[in-house]
Structure 1
């Protein structure tokens, strides 16, 4: 059964080049959309058959490292598609209710009347990701908070942020003992190879914080009533940050979360 969502805009409908481009081409990362006008308003209908919104997904589950990396990679693909077809990337909706998932792929709504800045929209999305992250997944916690921090920088590059995240994921895959051992010891039985690399796991995948230099959580708590009021949210993060650090993303000093963001 076909299922649609509709976004209404209280302006007269005008089919511009964006809608013509969307109809004439099959964009891989975007939902199929149709536009129409009625009673002085514009309606944009998106086919979401068989798909689940990000908001619905994480109302019942927690965000994992693999999920956020896939989301970032496919958002990057969506941005490149807008450039290819001369569309405005600011028209990509990044609210959780307008991002959909089906069979290992994320899909986005392209909304021609959108009046937003995609950099600001992505920053708001990172606030949502912080809330739905699985705090038992240490890499996920590190990634969502660092994304949030980076998007607070003035004139940050969304494309560069996605690129760096993908490069980091590729480096971690290369450093994974199960991936490295195939090339290093091709004639050794797999179980023997795994035993050989057991002692190297922390060396290849783990990082430690210098708590004397990087205990920014303690500094925030000393002078911030907001942090005290939201202790339940930050407690898992404190425990995580006291144990792990990845210096590649830069320092954590100066990260502030406003009360309404939590």
Structure 2
């Protein structure tokens, strides 16, 4: 997988190039015809025997860059998890596989309280394995001045190290935390927290 950032007068794009002839399959059709909250807008094309995907990252910063010099606080970590779970829930409505979302801080983008994810049609890595590495990243970047943040990061890491764990366990962890807070909430694609519903 090759990556490059391209800019023109008014847009910035992340270019991902993969080996294999480009195919305009149902996944690209779904992504083109539907604006799925939390997924970066993408367009694809062929380049000889390779496939190229352009993601609009205008005004956005990667998670890797955002937290390179500052730690992740509890509220931001919690918001990220809700948004990730919400995106995966939305993807199911369009028959898009969660295993094609790149869970690497370099490919997760942030803008005004909202995290955005790259859906790569030719990607084929298990979400649980990808999230395991992400959990390790959270442990290393957690704000150690916030006890709740440290506890949450280590809870995520503990779950991800279990054999044959599932993302449902992450969902249950977050729902249990909400119940302990005496309420329920969901982070929407716009980053708004509201009470009265569960993620599932």
Residue of structure 1 in register with 2:59 after alignment: 50
**Contact residue 76 and residue 159 of structure 1 kept, 8 A:** no
Q: How many Å separate the matches in 1 of 2:53 and 2:172?
A: 31
Residue of structure 1 in register with 2:92 after alignment: 83
Residue of structure 2 in register with 1:13 after alignment: 22
Q: CA deviation at 1:60?
A: 2.2
Q: CA deviation at 1:160?
A: 3.0
Determine which of 71, 96, 99 is the counterpart of 1:62.
Answer: 71
**Contact residue 11 and residue 40 of structure 1 kept, 8 A:** yes
Could you tell me which runs of 5 or more consecutive residues in structure 2 were left unpaired when the two chains were aligned.
1-9, 184-200
Confirm whether residue 154 of structure 1 aligns to residue 169 of structure 2: no
Could you tell me which runs of 5 or more consecutive residues in structure 1 were left unpaired when the two chains were aligned.
175-262
TM-score, length basis structure 1: 0.64
Q: How many Å separate the matches in 2 of 1:139 and 1:6?
A: 37
Q: How many Å separate the matches in 1 of 2:175 and 2:59?
A: 28
Q: How many Å separate the matches in 2 of 1:62 and 1:170?
A: 26
SS for the counterpart of 2:155 is helix
**Contact residue 13 and residue 57 of structure 2 kept, 8 A:** yes
Q: CA deviation at 1:59?
A: 0.6
Aligned positions, number? 174
**Contact residue 159 and residue 169 of structure 2 kept, 8 A:** no
Q: CA deviation at 1:82?
A: 1.3
Determine which of 91, 111, 123 is the counterpart of 1:102.
Answer: 111
Confirm whether residue 131 of structure 1 aligns to residue 140 of structure 2: yes
**Structure number having the greater helix percentage:** 1
Residue of structure 1 in register with 2:80 after alignment: 71
Q: CA deviation at 1:173?
A: 5.6
Q: CA deviation at 1:119?
A: 0.6
Distance 1:49 1:166, change over 3 A: farther
**Contact residue 73 and residue 166 of structure 1 kept, 8 A:** no
Q: CA deviation at 1:123?
A: 0.6
Distance 1:69 1:59, change over 3 A: same
Residue of structure 2 in register with 1:185 after alignment: none
SS for the counterpart of 1:59 is coil
Runs of 4+ in 1 over 6 A off after TM superposition: none
- Bigger relative contact order, structure 1 or 2, given CA contacts below 8 A and separation 6+? 2
TM-score, length basis structure 2: 0.83
Q: CA deviation at 1:127?
A: 0.7
Determine which of 171, 180, 186 is the counterpart of 1:171.
Answer: 180
Aligned CA-pair RMSD: 1.2
